[in-house]
Amino acid sequence: MGAWATENLIDAIEGKTDLQLFAAHPTLLPCPLVLRDSVASPKHQDASSRAAPDSLTRPNT
C-alpha cells in the first residue's frame, strides 16, 4: 500500500476525512497494517535458507 493510501486509510479509520470524497459507497474493511518486510509468505519449515549457487544468479557469458 502506498503512502497516500495508507495516510487516507488511517484518516478514514480515525474519522478525520469525508469518505464521500473517495467512493460512492465507502466501506472500511478490517485489514491489519503490516511491516514492509512481513508481507512475504512464511517459509516452510523444511525450506532451505541457503543462497542460490552463483551459476543460477550470474548472467551467462
State the SS3 of the chain.
CCHHHHHHHHHHHCCCCCHHHCCCCCCCCCCCCCCHHHCCCCCCCCCCCCCCCHHHHCCCC
Asked whether 20 and 27 are in contact (CB, 8 A), the reply is: no
Report which of residues 5 and 58 the model is more confident about: 5
Cα–Cα distance for residue pair 58/1, rounded to 1 Å: 32
The domains of the chain are located at: 1-33
Is the pLDDT at 6 greater than 80? The verdict is yes
Average pLDDT over residues 46-61: 60
Q: 30-52: per-residue pLDDT in tens?
A: 777 766 665 556 666 665 556 66
